A and B are shown apart, each in its own frame.
Chain A
């Protein structure tokens, strides 16, 4: 129970982002003439904000399933990079008795937002980390399902102009970057990331930057392993 309460507190920072983006994607489906159950199913099984918003365009444009499949792969390919940090932790949870299903569940519910929560997660002594991670992922997923479905069910009845609240996702990522920067043993990974992102912003344009930036960062970090890895190990000895 302690783990659940702690996990619930950790999910608070993404409530705004999930509520707003979820409501927006549900609203779009509603506007395009789709019943709320489609928003519910999308939230349950797809669980990817930008993809669910783009899906409405795909549904109404009549493109083939093959094209949709390829576009989804391209848009969501950034997720491939998220799992790399959780291969052992999630697998370890799945090895526990009766928890085998948690491993695929946790692997499949890692989104931009939940990833950023988990990489900055600090668990106090006495609370099992794996349990906290699982509850965070579960609660975020449930919140997402709720907000998408509510958006589609409420439709245009939604009150007040909330334009700009989508900035809360950006704000979450910025705050996590500040935390990471302050605690980093070496700033090279962050510098590599931001340089490659800005480079590809100018070279390929805003909509094409993310995959090349991620790939180049991985390659650069692999090449620089000889410099980065000792910096990690050195500081760890002081902890």
Chain B
């Protein structure tokens, strides 16, 4: 196989597998309306999933060594506080990210 063909094949395989994971819920529940249990899960899962995604994003933080994840935890606190106070998604993301970028350059250099 040539290099270009191999590259195309790799991208194709990854795309196909990704599509399968994304299409699966719709393929499994192809009836007119999903069963009540699935409809219920559709309502309650987002709250569980989003908080799992937060932990997932922080998973590679070095909590065991100095500064014990302080830049991440402080910035998460800033985002949460901003969101509670101003209720503006963009402002919370901007402030929290700026705080993180500043902390890892000044107070807690990598």
By a beta-carbon cutoff of 8 Å, the part of chain A in contact with chain B is: 12-13, 16, 34, 38, 41-42, 45-48, 51, 55, 58-59, 65, 68-69, 72-73, 76-88, 90-91, 103-104, 107-108, 110, 112, 115-116, 119-120, 163-165, 167-182, 184, 187-190, 192-194, 196-198, 201, 206-207, 209-210, 213-214, 217-218, 221-222, 225, 228-229, 232
Establish whether residues A65 and B80, one from each chain, have CB atoms under 8 Å apart when the complex forms. Answer: no
**1-45 of chain B: CB within 8 A of chain A:** 7-26, 29, 33-34, 37-45
B26 in contact with A192 (CB, 8 Å):
no
List the 5 closest A-B pairs by CB distance, nearest first. Answer: A193-B48, A83-B25, A206-B59, A197-B55, A72-B17
- Interface of B toward A, CB cutoff 8 Å: 7-26, 29, 33-34, 37-60, 72, 75-76, 79-80, 82-84, 87, 89-90, 92-94, 96-97, 100-101, 104-105, 110
Which one of B46, B58, B79, B93 contacts A119 once the chains associate, using CB atoms below 8 Å?
Answer: B46
Query: For A206, what are the chain B residues with a Cβ–Cβ distance below 8 Å?
Result: 59-60
Evaluate contact between A119 and B50: CB separation under 8 angstroms: yes
Interchain CB contact under 8 A, A210 and B56:
yes
Determine chain B's interface SS by DSSP, over half rule. Answer: helix
Query: Nearest Cβ distance between residue A93 and chain B, in whole angstroms?
Result: 12
Q: How many A-B residue pairs have CB under 8 A?
A: 253
Q: Would A38 and B40 be within 8 Å (CB), given that A12-B90, A167-B75, A190-B51 are in contact?
A: no
- Known contacts A12-B90, A182-B84: does B47 contact A193 (CB below 8 Å)? yes
**B29: chain A residues within 8 A (beta carbon):** 87
Looking at the complex, which one of B18, B21, B39, B89 makes contact with A13 (CB distance below 8 Å)? B89
Other A-B pairs, 6, CB within 8 Å; known A72-B13, A174-B83, A192-B48 = A16-B97, A55-B10, A76-B17, A79-B21, A87-B42, A88-B42
B43 touches A69 (CB 8 A): no
Task: Decide: A65 and B13 in contact? CB cutoff 8 A.
Answer: yes
Q: Would A217 and B11 be within 8 Å (CB), given that A48-B18, A108-B19, A175-B89 are in contact?
A: no
Which residues of chain B come closer than 8 Å to A87, judged between CB atoms?
A: 25-26, 29, 34, 38, 42
Q: Which chain B residues border A194 with CB–CB below 8 Å?
A: 51-52, 54-55
> Which residues of B are found within 8 Å of A214, using beta-carbon distances?
48-49, 52
In the complex, chain A residues whose CB is within 8 Å of the CB of B53: 112, 116, 173
Q: Chain B residues near A82 (CB, 8 Å)?
A: 22, 25, 49
- Contact check, B40 vs A225: say whether CB atoms are below 8 A apart: yes
A180 B7 Cβ-Cβ under 8 A: no
* CB atoms of A173 and B54 under 8 A apart: yes
Contact B45 A84 (CB under 8 A): yes
A-B contact pairs, 13 of them (CB 8 A): A16-B94, A45-B12, A55-B10, A79-B18, A81-B49, A83-B22, A84-B45, A168-B96, A171-B93, A171-B97, A178-B79, A207-B59, A213-B55
Complex contacts, A196 vs chain B, CB 8 Å: 52
Contact of B52 among A85, A86, A180, A210 (CB under 8 A): A210
Shortest distance between the CB of B19 and any CB in chain A (Å): 6
Closest residue of A by beta carbon distance from B96: A171
